Structure 1
Amino acid sequence: MFKSLDVFKAAHAMGKHAAARQTVVAQNMANADTPGYQARDIKPFQEIYQNDGGSGTMRATRAGHHGSSLEASDMTPGLSTAEVSPNGNSVSVEEEMLKAVEIKRQHDRSVAIYKSSMSVLRTAISR
């Protein structure tokens, strides 16, 4: 009955994606005044998870990146719709703040899925 609990793998992958994306958004915000810096982002979770065959594994931006496996091909530079400033910087702090809110919601969703699944599992085991 409980040979493959894919819902836990999906929730875990969603949480790791949110963490990786938050790292990228934080880097963008930290470099908001750096001349020539191009804002980066990570492909949406759904796209990465589907391309991965739903195995729940992620790809890293660099070797040893927090134990994840998020590939550089999943990083897309210049996704920002903000205008490039005269010094060549494309970071919009307002856009990055909105992304941070979206990321928080994604993380909260992954935790809610995990908690709900644990509740169902506990109920099934206790009967």
Structure 2
Amino acid sequence: MFGSLDILRMAQSFAVHAATRQQAIAQNVANADTPGYRARDAVPFAVYWADVEARGAISSRDAIREDAHPLSVSPDGNTVTLEHEMMRAVEARQQHEMALGIYSMTRDLMRATLGR
């Protein structure tokens, strides 16, 4: 019955994806004043999950890519918008909280199934 808990694997990947996205956001904020810096973001979770399923793991280097459609470009070529990065940070936090919620619900379900 508990031989394959795919939901836990997916929740773990969801949390790792959120952390990877937060890493990209932190790099963007740190380079907000760097001339020519191009904003980056994590690949969508569907792409990330497909790579995890196919290869078993994905490095953060492969999971972060340049933002193909930046909201704005400053005169020095920088594409980071701090307001947009703040919105992305909130999305990443919500994604991480959802992954933790899935862990918690699965744990509670397993405890109820085992009678504890």
TM over 0.5: yes
Q: How does 1:5-44 map to 2 (within 5 A)?
A: 5-44=5-44
User: What is the CA–CA distance in structure 1 between the aligned matches of 2:56 and 2:93, rounded to whole Å?
Assistant: 19
Change (3 A) 1:54 1:2: farther
Q: How does 1:90-105 map to 2 (within 5 A)?
A: 90-105=79-94
Q: Contact 1:49 / 1:55 at 8 angstroms: preserved in 2?
A: no
Q: Contact 1:13 / 1:57 at 8 angstroms: preserved in 2?
A: no
Q: Which string of whole-angstrom CA distances, capped at 9 and with x for unpartnered residues, describes residues 50-92 of structure 1?
A: 343278733231xxxxxxxxx2xx3221335322111110001
Q: Contact 1:9 / 1:56 at 8 angstroms: preserved in 2?
A: no
TM-score (norm 2): 0.90
Runs of 4 or more off by more than 2 Å in structure 1? 50-60, 78-81
Identity %: 40
State the Cα distance separating 1:93 from its structure 2 match.
0.5
Q: Give the aligned length.
A: 116
SS at match of 2:53: coil
| Aligned residue in 1 for 2:115 | 126
Where structure 1 has 5 or more consecutive residues not aligned to the other structure, the ranges are: 62-70
Q: Which string of whole-angstrom CA distances, capped at 9 and with x for unpartnered residues, describes residues 82-116 of structure 1?
A: 22111110001011000001001100000000000
Where structure 2 has 5 or more consecutive residues not aligned to the other structure, the ranges are: none
TM-score (norm 1): 0.83
SS at match of 2:94: helix
User: What is the CA–CA distance in structure 2 between the aligned matches of 1:54 and 1:105, rounded to whole Å?
Assistant: 26
Q: Which string of whole-angstrom CA distances, capped at 9 and with x for unpartnered residues, describes residues 14-39 of structure 1?
A: 00110011011011011101111000
Cα RMSD, aligned residues only? 1.8
